[in-house]
């Protein structure tokens, strides 16, 4: 009997020496933290292969930062680094903040501008980082130093929310200008001014009565925050401006009422005087605001109104009565409530 031999299958293996082709080098391309070796970054910079570094992205960053030490590579490294930051602003850049702050003072204008642009983009994406030593640099967001169309209002809104302890008063002038010019970032500018809490923002915030309801609501809330920080300020004009905000939109009225309550007696005088305004809507809003204040701060309202009636305002009441009896009746009702409050306080 013949035994059939099992078929022999021959496999031909071709081993490619990819190491020689540069695909699998014997040495690793990155350090332990996934950063590329500097020698690799340097080689690509010298070869003009910045597009490859852009594709590599974040792992190339530390090598690019180190390349700033080499005058021959500095320009290419700066350009490439700036583009990587622009592409990946939300990555973890905390380790690089100090470098960009130092580079923002570089003697070379282009290097300086790139560093400023990088720092601002990182600050916008990461307002929670420590920017306490970078406020002068952040202020450049309002100027021409950074060669980018930058959201300065958004930056200061986020920084002021993340760091209420920062003194950002110098930014208020620029933020107020955004509001007055109706810049695209004006709503963020309004919120930022409220967070910063500087009284220099008040005139700009008083002028938004003709703007959209959400802008007016944000301005009323911002004014309320500023009142908390500066109760000593003369809030009479602001109180009168507040009652001109919007229609009887509930959201706006709530913020307006909250701000007026914080103003206290100074707001009462302005509101009582507004009862004689020629505009019926202003008179009704003033009465509405006073009614709310009587509910929350009856004694202060009572003392202020009684003092006004006993003073020169008593003569003004006669003029108001001849032109608008309904307003006088409303004020009379307020005085009755004030009297009740005074009795309870006695």
Neighbours of 20 (CB within 10 A): 9
- Look at 254 and 27; give whichever has higher pLDDT: 254
Residue 1 lies in a domain: no
Residue 290 lies in a domain: yes
Output phi, psi for 263, to 5 deg: -70, -30
Average pLDDT, whole number, for the chain? 83
Q: What is the pLDDT of residue 316?
A: 62
Same domain, 134 and 230: no
Same domain, 251 and 272: no
Same domain, 274 and 180: no
Residue 249 lies in a domain: yes
- Look at 332 and 91; give whichever has higher pLDDT: 91
Which residue, 263, 292, 312, sits at the end of a domain? 263
Same domain, 145 and 62: yes
Residue 107 lies in a domain: yes
Q: What is the pLDDT of residue 93?
A: 96
- Give one DSSP letter per residue of 304-343, joined into a string: HHHHHHHTTHHHHHHHHHHH-HHHHHHHHHHHHHHHHHHH
**% of the chain with per-residue pLDDT over 70:** 80
Residue where the block lists tokens 């070379």? 108
Question: What CA–CA distance (Å, rounded) separates 123 from 252?
Answer: 32
Q: Are 84 and 91 in contact (CB under 8 A)?
A: no
- The pTM assigned to this predicted structure is 0.79
Residue 26 lies in a domain: no
Same domain, 298 and 215: no
Same domain, 41 and 144: yes
Domain count, the chain: 3
Which residue, 229, 263, 297, sits at the end of a domain? 263
Residue 23 lies in a domain: no
Which residues, 6+ apart, have CB-to-CB distance to 213 below 8 Å?
A: 246, 247, 249, 251, 252
Same domain, 256 and 270: no
Domain ranges, residue 325: 265-346
Residue 1 confidence (pLDDT) above 70: no
Q: Given pLDDT bands bounded at 50, 70 and 90, which one contains residue 9?
A: low
Q: Give me the CATH number covering residue 208.
A: 1.25.40
Same domain, 171 and 253: yes
Which residue, 263, 286, 318, sits at the end of a domain? 263
Same domain, 71 and 93: yes
- Tell me the pLDDT tens digit for each residue of 154-176: 999 999 999 999 999 999 999 99
Residue 139 confidence (pLDDT) above 70: yes
Q: Given pLDDT bands bounded at 50, 70 and 90, which one contains residue 13?
A: very low
Residue 33 confidence (pLDDT) above 70: no
Q: Give me the mean pLDDT over the 244-264 stretch.
A: 80
Q: What is the pLDDT of residue 43?
A: 96
């Amino acid at each position: 009997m013949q035994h059939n031999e099992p078929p022999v299958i021959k496999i031909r293996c071709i081993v490619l020496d990819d190491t020689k082709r540069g695909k699998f080098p014997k040495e690793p391309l990155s350090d332990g933290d996934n950063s590329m070796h500097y020698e690799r970054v340097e080689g690509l910079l010298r070869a003009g292969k910045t597009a490859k570094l852009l594709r590599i992205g974040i792992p190339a960053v530390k090598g690019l930062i180190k390349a700033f030490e080499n005058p021959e590579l500095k320009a290419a490294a700066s350009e490439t680094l700036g583009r990587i930051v622009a592409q990946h602003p939300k990555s973890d850049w905390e380790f690089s903040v100090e470098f960009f702050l130092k580079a923002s003072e570089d003697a070379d204008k282009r290097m300086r501008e790139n560093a400023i642009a990088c720092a601002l983009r990182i600050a916008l994406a990461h307002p929670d980082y420590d920017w306490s030593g970078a406020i002068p640099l952040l202020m450049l967001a309002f100027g021409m130093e950074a060669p980018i169309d930058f959201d300065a209002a958004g930056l200061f809104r986020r920084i002021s929310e993340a760091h209420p302890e920062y003194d950002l008063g110098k930014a208020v002038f620029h933020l107020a200008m955004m509001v007055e010019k109706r810049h695209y970032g004006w709503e963020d500018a309004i919120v930022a001014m409220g967070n910063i809490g500087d009284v220099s923002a008040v005139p700009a915030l008083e002028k938004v009565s003709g703007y959209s309801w959400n802008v007016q609501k944000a301005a009323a809330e911002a004014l309320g925050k500023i009142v908390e920080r500066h109760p000593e300020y003369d809030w009479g004009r602001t109180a009168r401006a507040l009652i001109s905000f919007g229609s009887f939109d509930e959201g706006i009225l709530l913020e307006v009422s909250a701000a007026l309550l914080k103003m206290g007696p100074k707001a009462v005088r302005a509101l009582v005087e507004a009862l004689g305004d020629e505009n019926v809507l202003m008179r009704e809003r003033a009465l509405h605001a006073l009614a709310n204040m009587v509910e929350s701060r009856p004694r202060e309202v009572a003392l202020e109104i009684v003092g006004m009636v006993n003073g020169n305002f008593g003569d003004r009441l006669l003029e108001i009565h001849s032109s608008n009896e309904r307003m006088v009746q409303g004020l009379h009702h307020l005085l009755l409530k004030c009297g009740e409050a005074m009795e309870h306080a006695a």
